[in-house]
Structure 1
Amino acid sequence: MKRHSRRSIRLKGYDYSAPGAYFVTVCTQNRECLLGEIVEGEMVLNVTGKVVEKCWLEIPSHFPHVKLDAFCIMPNHIHGILIIIESVGAKKFLPLQHGTSKTIGSIVRGFKIGVTKWVRQHSPGQKIWQRNYYEHIIRDEIDYNRIYEYTQNNPLKWELDSLHPANVGAKNLSPKMENK
């Protein structure tokens, strides 16, 4: 069986475990609205959406070097800002870490696995997540403010969102923060 090869969107040579702020978007399988619905400009989570929220909020307990910032669960995706913080302590004297990797990829993978386990128990056969995820390294305060505002206002602009089911094929489907 031949596998499709995808071009990586990752920044070549960048250390995705480096301290900093990262904006991530994780989409549901086939961009199905599995997490709830927008009612009068506000996201109303269904049971699966509440599990997504719980697993997102638990990221720091699994990855203590991560702080959560703004996030928004939408009907078919989640946007969030993850901040990797510098580890405190004399690294040279600590034993080798044999636990989880500290990259953005491992953090997103862990989050997706947590939700997937719950979905498999409650809806056998249902696939929850699309393969991979979108990520953007937040480079400065202007970039952060633009992304923060986009994340907070996403439910109000759902009808214009490139991930809205009615807009599929209408424009570039990457979850970039267009000036809407």
Structure 2
Amino acid sequence: MSNYRRMRVAGGTWFFTVNLENRQADLLTRHIAELKLSIQKAKQRHPFQINAWVVLPDHMHCVWTLPANDANYSQRWRAIKKAFTKSLPEHPIVWQKRFWEHSIRDERDYQAHVDYVYINPVKHGLVKSASEWPYSSFHRDVRNGLYPADWAGKVEDFQAGERKAGG
């Protein structure tokens, strides 16, 4: 049995990828109201800042910042996953056991990961531009003046959450 260890940084900013067990399922978008409620409940109990989030049918990417004295993002993911699963009629096996996390190192790393979050529906061929995808905090960031409404990025500039050199 492997001994998996996660990095802990109190008050850190993190990029996450969380997948459904069945990568052909559409539970996350089909049950978006339940997912949003699950996130709200987790945030009330264990606060965190949502810097960016996109929900696709079978997975989601997000960037969070934890409170200054807290490094426990796993607790938050457990709460979200548990509440979402319980909200489904038959409580199926929903989630892959683990998730992928990356500690944001600096402003350039932060921007590359937020861009990756927002370009993801385009990368997967679900829409032609980020503004067309409804399940994204991109719309909030447009309203706040952080992105132009017509931002599309270039899909070829993004791979595995990292911006290619020179991109």
Determine if the TM-score, normalized by the shorter chain, exceeds 0.5. yes
- Matched letter for residue 111 of structure 1: I
Deviations 1:82-106 (A, max 9, x none): 111225xxxxxxxxxxxxx850111
Does residue 1:78 correspond to 2:60, yes or no?
Answer: yes
Kept after mapping to 1: 8 A contact 2:113/2:162: no
**Cα distance in 2 between the residues matched to 1:86 and 1:150:** 25
Look up the match of 2:104: 138
Aligned partners of 1:142 and 1:102: how far apart in 2? 22
Q: Is the 8 A contact 2:22 2:94 kept in 1?
A: no
Partner residue in 2 for 1:49: 32
Higher relative contact order (CA 8 A, sep 6+): 1
1:111 matched to 2:80? The reply is yes
Q: Which residue of 2 aligns with 1:93?
A: none
When the two structures are superposed, what TM-score results if normalisation uses the length of structure 1?
A: 0.64
What is the total number of aligned residue pairs between the two structures? 132
- Aligned: 1:33 with 2:25: yes
Is 1:177 paired with 2:144? Answer: no
Task: Tell me how far 1:178 sits from its aligned partner.
Answer: 5.2
Q: TM-score, normalised by structure 2?
A: 0.68
**Structure 1 unaligned regions, length at least 5:** 37-44, 88-100, 161-174
Structure 2 residue runs of 5 or longer lacking an equivalent are 127-158
How large is the Cα RMSD of the aligned pairs? 2.5
Runs of 4+ in structure 1 off by over 3 angstroms are: none
CA distance in 2, matches of 1:155, 1:7: 33
- Counterpart CA distance in 1 for 2:121 and 2:104 is 22
Correspondence for 1:123: 90
Task: State the match for 2:51 in structure 1.
Answer: 69
Tell me which residue corresponds to 2:146. none
What is the distance in 2 between the residues matched to 1:19 and 1:62? Answer: 16
Structure with greater Cα Rg: 1
Answer yes or no: is the 8 Å Cα contact 2:12–2:71 preserved in 1.
no
Higher mean displacement: 109-118 or 24-33: 24-33
Identity, % of aligned pairs? 27
Three-state SS of the structure 2 residue aligned to 1:136 is strand
Contact 2:14 2:64 in 1 (8 A): yes
